[in-house]
Amino acid sequence: MSTRLTGSVAAMVAVSAWGASFVATRIALETLPPVVLVSWRLVTATLLLVWVARGAWDRSRNTGWLERAPIGVLGVVFALHLLVQAWGLEHTTAIHTGWIIGAMPAAIALGARLVHGQRLNRTGWAGLGIAFAGVATVVWHQPAGLGTARFGVLLQVGSIATWTVYTVAAVRPVARWGPLTVTTGSMAVAAAVTAPVALVVGGGTWLPPDGRTWAAVLFLGLVAGGIAQLLWLRSLAEIGAARTAVWLYLEPFVTVAVARALLAEPVGAGAVAGGLVTLAGVAVVQAARETRTRTARAQPARRR
pLDDT of residue 153: 81
More confident residue, 84 or 139: 84
| Average pLDDT across the chain, whole number | 80
238, 2 contact by CB (below 8 A)? no
pLDDT band at 298 (very low <50, low <70, confident <90, very high): very low
Cα 26 to Cα 281: distance, rounded to the nearest angstrom? 28
Which of the residue ranges 112-116, 246-250, 290-294 has the most confident prediction, judged by mean pLDDT? 246-250
The answer to pTM > 0.85 is no
User: Does residue 60 register a pLDDT over 80?
Assistant: no
Mean pLDDT of 61-86: 83
User: Does residue 129 register a pLDDT over 80?
Assistant: no
Lowest mean pLDDT among 28-32, 248-252, 278-282, 297-301: 297-301
User: Does residue 134 register a pLDDT over 80?
Assistant: no
Cα 22 to Cα 272: distance, rounded to the nearest angstrom? 17
pLDDT of residue 167: 82
Q: What is the pLDDT of residues 216-260, one digit of tens each?
A: 999 999 999 889 988 888 887 787 766 677 777 788 888 888 998
More confident residue, 97 or 193: 193
Mean pLDDT of 26-40: 93
Q: 145 φ, ψ to 5°?
A: 90, -5
User: Does residue 79 register a pLDDT over 90?
Assistant: yes
